[in-house]
Amino acid sequence: MDQIHTEDLEFEYPIRDDDGNVIGIKKAVDGMNVDIKKGEFIGILGGNGSGKSTFARHLNGLLFPTSGAVYVNGIDTVNEEKLFEVRKTVGMVFQNPDNQIVSATVMDDIAFGLENIGVGENDMRKRIKDAAERTGLSDKIDEDPNNLSGGQKQRLSIAGIIAMKPECVVFDEPTSMLDPEGRSDVISIIKSLHHDEKITVILITHFPEEVIACDKIIVMKDGKTRLAGSPGQVFYRKKELEECRVSQPFAIEMADELIEKGLNIPKKIYDPESLSAEIVKML
């Protein structure tokens, strides 16, 4: 059984004028059929307005389908009696970490979700310690979260989620508001969670470099899946990516330029490390 299965998922919302009158309907997700297995690392790309964030919010019942269905471990997300179980299974980390700060200290912020799911005091202490260590926040445990850097705040958001031990975490553009150093730190944590903890990861981003390690990439446009496959299958379809307002990873663009200049660079290179290794061979 797939951990997450969407079946002809559609979601519509009303478009209103300045007076609040409905003047149209926007279909943000349009017939999405996605299967995600436990332990997979899935990347979702798409331009602004492609529907990727709306799709993400269906995966733990923050939004419900206008038509079609979403199943998490076989549970239909519209089943109100099982919604708590769905949200324990699938955690969410959002774009703006400031919107996720709820407590006066880093420790209390990590503890917030644990209190809501009834974790005992001894287990809670262990989970807070482990989550802080995992996200590099052990030395900040008594600090006010509002005094943290943007990257540290996002790591705190991740700590609060992983302390709850979900089977799957959806990261909705978690690095879009961070500087390069903060982006690198957060992506490293996400990759380690997938590799070390075997957590299913769904990473939504507009940075193609962030998903080159994924098992599968989904590219969305107009609420639909336009491309899907491994990084090697997706990232060399340049024309279709451009139509979806998604760029190729920089390493592919650079490799193509070097090939045009006559250098013997192998095709199917999409990460900087592989490109650097090929260039070193020619020196």
Residue 198 has a CB neighbour count (10 Å cut-off) of 11
Residue 163 is given by DSSP the state T
Burial of 243 (0-12, 13-18, 19+ CB in 10 A): middle
∠ CA 251-55-15, nearest 5°, is: 115
pLDDT in tens, 129-169: 999 999 999 999 999 999 999 999 999 999 999 999 999 99
Alpha carbons 260 and 38: distance in angstroms, whole number? 41
Provide the pLDDT for residue 117. 84
Q: In which residue are the tokens 């299958």 written?
A: 233
Tokens of 80: 């109100």
Whether residue 158 contacts residue 135, with contact meaning beta carbons closer than 8 Å, is answered with yes
Provide the pLDDT for residue 283. 67
Provide the pLDDT for residue 163. 93
Those residues of the chain that have pLDDT short of 50 are none
Alpha carbons 228 and 222: distance in angstroms, whole number? 15
pLDDT in tens, 79-88: 999 999 999 9
∠ CA 61-67-72, nearest 5°, is: 35
Q: In which residue are the tokens 């503890």 written?
A: 111
Dihedral pair phi/psi, residue 133, rounded to 5°: -65, -45
* CA atoms within 13 Å, Cβ hemisphere of 249: 24
> Percent of the chain beyond pLDDT 90?
67
Provide the pLDDT for residue 57. 95
Terminal-to-terminal C-alpha distance of the chain: 50
Whether residue 46 contacts residue 244, with contact meaning beta carbons closer than 8 Å, is answered with yes
Tokens of 48: 């602004």
Alpha carbons 275 and 272: distance in angstroms, whole number? 5
Q: How would you list the strands of the sheet with 200-204, edge to edge?
A: 90-93, 168-172, 200-204, 41-46, 216-221, 224-229
Dihedral pair phi/psi, residue 61, rounded to 5°: 75, 20
Whether residue 141 contacts residue 105, with contact meaning beta carbons closer than 8 Å, is answered with yes
